[in-house]
Amino acid sequence: MISIAILGFGNIGSGVADVLANNEEKISKIIGDEIRIKYVLDKRDLSDTPYADRAVTDIDVIVNDPDVTVVCEMMGGTQPAYDYSIALLKAGKSVVTSNKEVVARMGDLLLATAREHGVHYLYEASVGGGIPILHALDDSLKSCAISRIDGILNGTTNYILTRMHDCNASFESALSEARKLGYAEANPTADISGADACRKIMILAAVAWGKLVSAEDVPCEGITAITSEDSTFAVSCGGALKLIASAVKTASGIMMTVSPAVVLADNPLYSAKGVFNAVKVRAGDLGDVMFYGMGAGKLPTASAVVSDIIAAINRSDSNGYTFFLPNDESLLSPEETPDAFCLLVQADADILYERIPSLALLNSKDGVHSILCEDMSKKTIYEAFDGLAVLKCLRAIV
């Protein structure tokens, strides 16, 4: 019998208990033993749940119990989640988590502690809900030279932008609808500001390249300033507006950014609508690889936590996912790094081609042109169009 504990019995924590119960026979066959939830730590009254007799409020009860070998942390926030996790790892217990905030801010310290004490720190559920993207980066794509990651990493913002695209809804009405359907929190600031997607791309880049950057170093623009006109512009370019978190590795360094972008219809990210998440990885000789699925939700995220429980029990190494360290280099500026951009420019088309011969003309109406510029920095584009009326400029995902 393998004893585990759950910290935080909200949506995801209770979902972990459900997934373990629903798949008990299959999980037992995989690990060769049974899993028992011995403790549930939560401030809430659990007397009306099947786990009332296992409820505790003191973390030391779990830390000091030698029977508990794996602990699931679904508390959210950095504290007390970080302190609890450190104490558990030092006590020789593996920790699995869905807490993207603590991983993005302190994952390097938690992994170092896990390594020092011969246990695991696993966090698949912290990015993309039930999408197994971290396992893929850590295992299947380990031999590939990953050069770029682009992701739709927040279901709330993707739902809002989908409604703006499909129904010409305003930002305010789409957000209100997302709240009513339970896709947006009462306070959706972390989602619509881009902070949530920023944490997730930080984790993806850390696993891919071994360096955890600081959130303060990642340029982050949310969707609060997006208008229906911006969505219409994306359509005129032959695409759709998405909040895209990107990490790019070049010979000069790493560029990371979160911002609204025009995703052109030929790109597989274009098809990710509603609350779904999608991640596209450029993986060396393998080419582009796409991961798609439910990026949030009780059971999808809980399933990812349970997969980490199984991995913690079955894995013989003690590193967790790929070990990463704090970033010791400056990030490249998105303004100065070559990329793709869609622009709305009012000028004679011949002048546009004179300035940038390689541009692609996507749409024209009354002397206003939607164009695509690839492999150029935003700074270089604006220098080339100096003196012209550039009405809009958004990143493009081609």
- What is the pLDDT at residue 319? 57
177 and 113 together in one domain: no
| pLDDT tens column, 43-101 | 888 988 999 999 999 999 999 999 999 999 999 899 999 999 999 999 999 999 999 99
Q: Which positions ≥6 away from 280 have C-beta within 8 Å?
A: 149, 150, 151, 267, 268, 269, 288, 289, 290, 291
- Run of H or E residues at 233: helix 228-236
Strand, coil or helix: what is 284?
helix
Does 284 lie in the same domain as 171? yes
| 234 domain residue, yes or no | yes
Q: DSSP characters for 152-210?
A: E--HHHHHHHHHHHHH---HHHHHHHHHHTTSS-SS-HHHHTSHHHHHHHHHHHHHHHS
Q: What is the pTM of this model?
A: 0.94
Of 219, 173, 221, 216, residue with least CA distance to 193: 221
Q: Is 96 part of any domain?
A: yes
Distance of CA 347 to the CA centre of its chain: 39
Domain of 144, CATH number, reads 3.30.360.10
Residue 333 forms part of a structural domain: no
* pLDDT tens per residue, range 243-263: 999 999 999 999 999 999 999
- Looking at the fold, whether 106 and 6 belong to one and the same domain comes out as yes
Tell me, what CATH number does 383's domain have?
3.30.70
pLDDT < 70 regions, the chain: 317-321
Q: Provide the angle, in degrees to the nearest 10, between the axes of the packed helices 100-116 and 81-90.
A: 20
Domain count, the chain: 3
Does 198 lie in the same domain as 180? yes
Q: Are residues 140 and 289 both part of a single domain?
A: yes
Predicted pLDDT at 248? 97
What are the catalytic residues?
A: 200
Whole-number Å distance between alpha carbons of 181 and 287: 37
Query: Which domain, by its residues, includes 88?
Result: 2-130+299-326
